[in-house]
Every structure is written in C-alpha cells, then in structure tokens.
Amino acid sequence: MEWRRSTEQRWLEAELPGARAAFTTRVGGVSEEPFESLNVAALNGDRIEDVRENRHRIAAALGHEPEDVLIGRQVHGAELAEHDHRQDPSPFADPGPDLPALDGQIAHADGLVPLVMVADCLPVAITGPGGVAMLHCGWRGLAAGIVERGAGAIEAEAAAVGPGIGQCCYEVGDEVLDAFADLGEGISDGRMLDLTALARRLLERAGVESIEASDLCTRCNPELFYSHRRDGPRTGRQAGLAWMER
C-alpha cells in the first residue's frame, strides 16, 4: 500500500489485480469536534451537510462520482448486497437515515464503488473474476462468515486489509477467543486479539492467495483515524472503498 494525497485529503491506496482499494483517514474534511474532520457517517450525531460535503470530497479525490458509491449501515453481521447498477436514489451522495443494514457491498459491474465505514473494525477489499467487494470485518462479522461469503460471491483471488485496531490495543473476552478456537495459534497473545492476522487466516481458508495489509492501528493513531475503543460512540468513521479497473 502507498500513501496518496490530494489538496487536503490523505489516504492509503492498494493495487489489486484488476482493481484498486482506498482507505481514507480523518484528514481533510469539514466536520467539527468530535468528528473532525473527514467523517463519512451520518448516524452518529454529525451535521448532515458536513457529512455530505466530506463524502463528495472523498469521491472527487478518488476520481469517482458520488452516485457510484455503494453504501449500507454496518451492524456487525455477515449480510452482503450485490450490485450491477447504482443505488437509486444514492444514499451516499445524499445522506439520510434509511440505509439498508449490511456489512458488505459487492460490485459486479465496472464503475461501481463498494464502501464500508469503520472506526476500529477492518475494511477488507477483495477482488476476483466475479467483481470487487468491500467488507466490514469486526470479530462478530468474521465469526459469522462474512469473509467466506464475500470471497465465494466473486471467486476472490486477492485482498487488501486496511487499518483497524491492532493487537496492541484489542483485549477481548473468552467468548471472542472461543469463536476462533478452531483456527489454532497465532491470532492472539493471551487476551490480545490480532484482528488482521485473524482476517488473513480466514481469507487464506477462503482461497484468497494474495493478501496485503496495512498493519496500522486505528487506536494508536488519533491524528489519522477515528477509533470507537479510544473515543467512545461519539466519534467519526473513516471509509474503505474498492473499484474495478478493467
């Protein structure tokens, strides 16, 4: 992955076979505290007009129309939406409360841009012959099979794992560790779960051969990322986006 920059925004970008992925930071938006500044979420108390401006800035920086971006409301599950066309009307371009409850977006057509919103969970981009997808991967979604479902839908061959909470900051309970006991060693150190290693292990199980990860901790980098565990529920969200280049 490489850092990219526009006039104001800064993001990580990954090159995948036939596709690209971008992972935004909190830098370069208009939202005020505690959402400063490039918050993309509309349901956390931020001003809708600021969220709209932030989203349009992100789309412009990446060279897309806001109406091409596919979005849902993350609920820490494994439900996915598959798309051959734009969402009409566009809930990304014109933020509102009526978002479908989904934790992954799949695009089967060129020009569409799947997006998920995160603030410690991992944004995971996957690509294959069937299209491109962006998955919202917290421990609940990973345990529910979101990686397997997403990878199977597009015959995924490659993945890019964006910034999320690191093992340094992610202490979990027995119920979380028990959910992944069948994966063996290497995904935790005591109660400290390595979410990226966990996602990597599940991607490999799903047949994804090429995996790139940022290994940046959202909680440890407040100047770059929002973090629910660090800041509590009244904070912003960064985004993971992916699109085909064929």
- pTM recorded for the entire structure: 0.96
pLDDT at res. 96: 81
Q: What is the pLDDT of residue 246?
A: 65
Q: What's the Cα-to-Cα distance from 69 to each of 56, 65, 115, 126, 144, rounded to whole Å?
A: 10, 7, 7, 16, 25
pLDDT score recorded for residue 19 = 98
Domain span at residue 148 reads: 2-244
CATH number at residue 232: 3.60.140.10
Type of residue at 122: L
Which pLDDT score is estimated for 41? 96
**Is there a contact between 92 and 162 (Cβ–Cβ < 8 Å)?**
no
Please measure the distance between the N-terminal and C-terminal CA atoms of the chain and give it in whole angstroms: 20
| Cβ neighbours around 162 below 10 Å, total | 33
Per-residue pLDDT in tens (0 to 9) along the chain, 246 residues: 999 999 899 999 999 999 999 999 999 999 999 999 999 999 999 999 999 999 999 999 999 999 999 999 999 999 999 999 999 999 999 998 788 899 999 999 999 999 999 999 999 999 999 999 999 999 999 999 999 999 999 999 999 999 999 999 999 999 999 999 999 999 999 999 999 999 999 999 999 999 999 999 999 999 999 999 999 999 999 999 999 996
For every residue of the chain, which 3-state class applies, written as one string?
CEEEECCCCEEEEEEECCEEEEEECCCCCCCCCCCCCCCCCCCCCCCHHHHHHHHHHHHHHHCCCHHHEECCECCCCCCEEEECCCCCCCCCCCCCCCCCECCEEEECCCCCEEEEEECCCEEEEEEECCEEEEEEECHHHHHHCHHHHHHHHHCCCEEEECCECCCCCCECCHHHHHHCHHHCCCCEECCEECHHHHHHHHHHHCCCCEEEECCCECCCCCCCCCCHHHHCCCCCCEEEEEEECC
Q: State the total domains in the chain.
A: 1
In angstroms, the Cα distances linking 64 to 31, 67, 84, 187, 230 are 21, 8, 17, 36, 32
